[in-house]
Amino acid sequence: MPSDRIGNHPEDAEIRFFTGTWELYPAEELAAAAVVELDLGCGVGSYTAELAKRYPERKILAADVMVGRLRKLVKRCRRMGIGNMTILRTEARHLVAFMLPDESVDRLHLLCPDPWPKGRHSGHRLLTSDFVSQLHRVLKKDGIFHFSSDDEPYYTAVRGVLASSGLFVEAPEAIADLAGIRSDFEQRWNDEGKPVHHIACRRIPRLAHTIGH
């Protein structure tokens, strides 16, 4: 079960602190919501808050490892009167690999993560084949993975990983309802005349394993 650790900041009472790798998010809480969306690495939450405001009937999960950013998101939600968001302090890999129940999320957003462009840092990239397999596990049937990056080589590499996995098929129409919602990073790059590339992929069933003779 999640551990709620309240610190000296008044915003901490509205953040769920997951402190261990093997803690589980309560499955019944997610099952009770008709639609669940997760912003993985939400930062200060400009994108997440706009998403929650536009679709108040959906349950929005906002996750980040930097508690300072999450405290700013709490304040943003208060100003905007948002009541359909759950804010999580946790590490992205742990959340997806260990903590979320199977087939519990309708759409998962990973927007403008650090591309780690130097070769010696490539191991820090989140989008590995193993992580893609975990994305497939937590997404519901026909669930959507939404990724964006300002770094074109990284974007191209992610498209390749998704395509080669055999677990997803591109579905650009699946993010048509997000028109006009931008993260702080995307707004910054756009202001500088730099494009941000988006991809949406729909989860497809795994192929059945067969044993040859």
Q: pLDDT tens-digit profile of 52-109?
A: 999 999 999 999 999 999 999 999 999 999 999 999 999 888 899 889 999 999 999 9
Report the pLDDT value the prediction gives residue 124, as an integer from 0 to 100.
Answer: 47
Our answer to whether residue 191 is catalytic in this structure is no
More confident site: 126 or 193: 193
Sheet containing 139-149: which strands, arranged edge to edge? 15-17, 85-89, 59-64, 36-40, 105-111, 139-149, 197-203, 168-170
Report the pLDDT value the prediction gives residue 118, as an integer from 0 to 100.
Answer: 44
Report the pLDDT value the prediction gives residue 21, as an integer from 0 to 100.
Answer: 62
Report which of 56, 61, 15 is spatially closest to residue 40, judged by C-alpha positions: 61
Q: Which of 102, 114, 142, 177 is catalytic?
A: 114
pTM of the model as a whole: 0.89
Q: How far is the C-alpha of 213 from the C-alpha of 211, rounded, in Å?
A: 7
Report the pLDDT value the prediction gives residue 2, as an integer from 0 to 100.
Answer: 42
Report the pLDDT value the prediction gives residue 120, as an integer from 0 to 100.
Answer: 44
